[in-house]
Amino acid sequence: MQATSRAYYGAFYAAEAALLSVGETRSKHSGVLSAFGLKVVKEGGFDPALAAELRRLFELRSLADYMWLDEPEFHDYDPLDAAQRFVDGVEQWLGQKAHAHPIESPPSSGEQ
């Protein structure tokens, strides 16, 4: 159960990094998921199928953390693999975003 929670948090922090890259922050988990869907997926071109992994991990983490069951059944779904795919996708998206909009270095003190 801890592995599911940790997998979710890895994906969650990647989603927060993606949001920060577009100048957005949210204070609640539901806000991060919602803003990620709008700002990163809809407006930013992130893969919607991959973004769905974040929502599923959120739901599984809730089951794992708050249900009375000993071990939730995932039916051939590996949360750690899903989180890794999501994090890899965010890293790739951030890399593409950086190449599309490179940050200009400020001129040195001798240049005008």
Higher pLDDT residue, 3 or 19?
A: 19
pLDDT per residue as tens digits for the range 88-111: 999 999 999 888 876 565 566 655
Domains delineated in the chain: 2-100 (1.20.120.330)
pTM here?
0.82
Percentage, residues of the chain above pLDDT 70 = 82
DSSP one-letter string for the chain:
-HHHHHHHHHHHHHHHHHHHHTT---SSHHHHHHHIIIIIIITT---HHHHHHHHHHHHHHHHHHH-S-SS---SS--HHHHHHHHHHHHHHHHHHHHHHSPPPPPPPTT--
